[in-house]
Amino acid sequence: MSNRKKVWFEDAERKLDPGLVEQLRNSRKVDQNETSNNEIPLIVYLKKDCERGKKDNLLKVCNIDSHNNLHRELRSINAMKGYLTPDRIQQIKDHEAVDRIFYDRIVTAFLDIASEQTGATNVQEQLGLTGKGVTIAVIDTGVHAHDDLTDPTNRIIAFQDFINGESEPYDDNGHGTHCAGDAAGNGSLSNGKYIGPAPEASIVGLKVLDEQGSGRLSTIIEGLEWCVDHKEEHNIRIISLSLGAPAYESFRDDPLSLAAQSAWHQGIVVCAAAGNDGPAASTISTPAIDPFVITVGSTDDKNTLERTDDGIADYSSRGPTIDKLIKPDVYAPGTNIISLLAPGSVLESQIPEMVIDENYIQLSGTSMATPICAGIIALMLEANPNLSPNDIKSILKATSHPTLDDIWGYIEAKSAVEMAKNYQRQNSAEVVQES
């Protein structure tokens, strides 16, 4: 039996999340004599109903020197973000204002015929719906002002850069631009060949991931909070999240999951990529683990219009979640999807063989399936603006085709939009009867 005395962070119980304990352990291994200068990015949950004086005292303790900085509030999860040294973390872990401390983990982006496959083309042609008047917020690596988003009118109605502070739309990675096109590209430079489900929807681009497609949990949370703050100004009805991180905690404690859930409760439909860690079970990432948000898995349509040969893509993450919840909620095409190219981006230089007709690029992943789902939701909201996020999710699941070997099925745009319109008529009839 070992007589080794536990290090302070190994004996902190739930005060420190497992990811932070691992970072502290690694920091100690690197240099036991200089850990006080090794700042660690983190998120500090405050206790509920924390008094202002206690919070101020915490900030005073944390911001005493240049190596420690707790500065930005994450109000949706009642927390603060910043950088602290191991010594300072040890000092504040039992502070009367602190509930729990999380490592601010790295979040990464998850790396043709899709609109016809989902039935979105039928909706456009037969029902005349294009997503017009609905805004999709793409929280990702940014968005390039591609002609398919700006011609004949500029549908990028807002852009916010949390990485470099730029004011004009750009995308140095390329992932976010592809996702924006997956949802709302109008095929301007391809004579309509590469068109998204909602070719007249508006786009808000939020750059929360850097040139290499990575960022911190706290930055994604700030992006989600920005969407809530500007929801009415830009009519943001949908958030598309083609990003994530491994889930180590229950959705009840996970910072990104809670922030996404908060946006959902503010009336914004949140679509989150399941992740690309399949086919192993229990690989759903955060924030897709949250029971409220719409978790999107990816299919491989074998590049045919028939659904009989389709299947769940091997890379698409499988459930159950860390909380044993059934996920994904719905599946959409995500394999070999051709969408918008951001010129000069990292993706263009890394995979030039995937560039199509100079203005497009072919990618695969649940990253692509998620904005395709978001585009279909834009059609539903154009058909019936009164639908709540819960309504949208119920309709998508009820109308999905059970063609896949999973609990839920393949998204089907026309059935979903028709049910959305019928829902409106049912509500109208009920109002007349009651009056």
Last residue of a domain, one of 58, 73, 104: 104
Same domain, 257 and 403: yes
Residue 60, amino acid = K
Q: Within a domain: residue 2?
A: no
Same domain, 285 and 376: yes
Same domain, 393 and 409: yes
CATH number of the domain to which 388 belongs: 3.40.50.200
Q: Within a domain: residue 296?
A: yes
Q: Within a domain: residue 430?
A: no
Last residue of a domain, one of 88, 104, 120: 104
Q: Within a domain: residue 165?
A: yes
Check if the beta carbon of residue 298 is closer than 8 Å to that of residue 334.
yes
Same domain, 391 and 308: yes
Residues in the chain: 435
Same domain, 173 and 259: yes
Phi, psi at 212, each rounded to 5°: -90, 5
Q: Give the model's pLDDT for residue 407.
A: 61
Residues 6+ apart with CB under 8 A from 89: 9, 16, 20, 24, 40, 42, 101
For 131-173, the DSSP string reads -TT-EEEEEES-----HHHHSSS--EEEEEESSS--SS---SS
Same domain, 263 and 322: yes
Q: Within a domain: residue 434?
A: no
Same domain, 282 and 373: yes
Q: Give the model's pLDDT for residue 26.
A: 85
Same domain, 85 and 169: no
Same domain, 373 and 409: yes
Query: In which domain, by residue range, is 53 found?
Result: 12-104
Same domain, 130 and 78: no
Q: Which residues are catalytic?
A: 140, 175, 367
Q: Within a domain: residue 7?
A: no
Q: Give the model's pLDDT for residue 351.
A: 92
Q: Within a domain: residue 428?
A: no
Total domains in the chain come to: 2
Same domain, 124 and 246: yes
CATH number of the domain to which 79 belongs: 3.30.70.80
For 12-72, the DSSP string reads -GGGB-HHHHHHHHHHHHH-TTSGGG--EEEEEEEPTT--HHHHHHHHHHHTSSTT-EEEE
User: What is the full per-residue pLDDT of the chain (435 aa) written as tens digits?
Assistant: 455 567 888 887 889 998 899 899 888 776 554 444 689 999 999 998 888 899 999 999 898 887 888 988 999 999 999 999 999 999 999 999 999 999 999 999 876 445 565 778 888 888 899 999 999 999 999 999 999 999 999 999 999 999 999 999 999 999 999 999 999 999 999 999 999 999 999 999 999 999 999 999 999 999 999 999 999 999 999 999 999 999 999 999 999 999 999 999 999 999 999 999 989 999 999 999 999 999 999 988 666 666 666 788 899 999 999 999 999 999 999 999 999 999 999 999 999 999 999 999 999 999 999 999 999 999 999 999 999 999 999 999 999 987 666 666 889 999 999 999 988 545 544 433 443
Q: Within a domain: residue 141?
A: yes
Same domain, 189 and 44: no
Strand (E) positions, 76-153? Answer: 79-84, 98-103, 106-109, 135-140
* Burial status of residue 81 (CB atoms within 10 A of its CB: 0-12, 13-18, 19 or more): buried
Check if the beta carbon of residue 251 is closer than 8 Å to that of residue 293.
no
Last residue of a domain, one of 104, 129, 156: 104
